[in-house]
Structure 1
């Protein structure tokens, strides 16, 4: 690798490290050390092919997805980690509700299986279509749909407090509904 390529690689890592680490953190269920290992492993694989890569961000993400898939396919089943219940009052007026929600989502994702977590992260956090997720994970679209459905159902059971704001937002008081809208 010539010095100019080396410098471009370093610039890429400096600029994208935080975003890649956030993704890895979601994929690993919040384990900071595993997340750092995942990003570093992906970057080492990319470094060897840096000249041939047209879209470094997409390539690194795909390497991370595939490496994480390999990890959860090779792992033996393990016991789920248990967490203390999150505080009941998530709507605190001190501006911490967004942080509390992130913590609650992270804890709930960590209690899913690695496969379930990966499907949800790719589908909803990375905003990939079912077809793109299937292609990335090497499975059928039907598998993506069924696993995503089961994963969301389990997530709702594990963290019912995550569904409360969405239900409240979709419920419209009858006094605010225009006449004729109840057809």
Structure 2
């Protein structure tokens, strides 16, 4: 990459890479897929860097990430695997936060890709329904429906998450 041709891109990627990776992991549920997603999104953004660098490049990268992930989901439909019983509730050991994250990741794998995208945008990224709808290119009503259905599914397959998230104060 020629830094003279894309001024500021390397600084942006270094500064926001970790946050983008966290969001990508929540969308994909896999560290390697998250790395691929961030790298693919940044590669696409690089082509348009001069045009977007003056605005909000992070929002642009996130939109590209969500669109890429939705495209990947459409291409490879992975069958759902429902567990007979929800994952065990994490105890009060020092690794409880890690256990909660793993449990949340397993539970998110049980919702549809669209529901997962909406849940990540609304409750991890803390976007409004209108912002999520704009980012996903759908209506606010569609976002509300996917959020409602996704939360209902999470409550059904992993009811312990509701209490754990309430106790810990969130997903982060």
- TM-score by length of structure 1 reads 0.79
* Contact persistence 1:25–1:32 (CA under 8 A): yes
Tell me, in whole angstroms, the C-alpha distance in 1 between the residues paired with 2:98 and 2:165. Answer: 17
Aligned to 1:179: none
Tell me, in whole angstroms, the C-alpha distance in 1 between the residues paired with 2:103 and 2:138. Answer: 29
Taking a change above 3 Å as real, the CA distance of residues 123 and 84 of structure 1, as seen in their structure-2 partners, is same
Cα offsets for 1:141-161 (capped at 9, x unmatched): 111111110100001111111
Q: Which residues in structure 2 correspond to 1:91-170 (within 5 Å)?
A: 91-92=92-93, 95-165=94-164
1:5 Cα offset (Å): 4.9
Tell me, in whole angstroms, the C-alpha distance in 2 between the residues paired with 1:165 and 1:31. Answer: 22
Unaligned 5+ runs, structure 2:
none
Aligned to 2:91: 90
Q: May I ask how many residue pairs the two structures share in their alignment?
A: 166
Aligned to 2:62: 61
- TM-score by length of structure 2 reads 0.83
Q: Which residues in structure 2 correspond to 1:20-59 (within 5 Å)?
A: 20-28=20-28, 30-53=29-52, 54-59=55-60
Aligned to 2:71: 70
Aligned to 1:15: 15
Q: Secondary structure at the match of 1:76?
A: coil
The structure number with the bigger radius of gyration is: 1
* Contact persistence 1:90–1:101 (CA under 8 A): no
Taking a change above 3 Å as real, the CA distance of residues 11 and 158 of structure 1, as seen in their structure-2 partners, is same
Please tell me the root mean square deviation across aligned C-alpha atoms, in Å.
2.6
Tell me, in whole angstroms, the C-alpha distance in 1 between the residues paired with 2:50 and 2:130. Answer: 29
Q: Secondary structure at the match of 1:163?
A: helix
Taking a change above 3 Å as real, the CA distance of residues 101 and 6 of structure 1, as seen in their structure-2 partners, is same
1:7 Cα offset (Å): 5.3
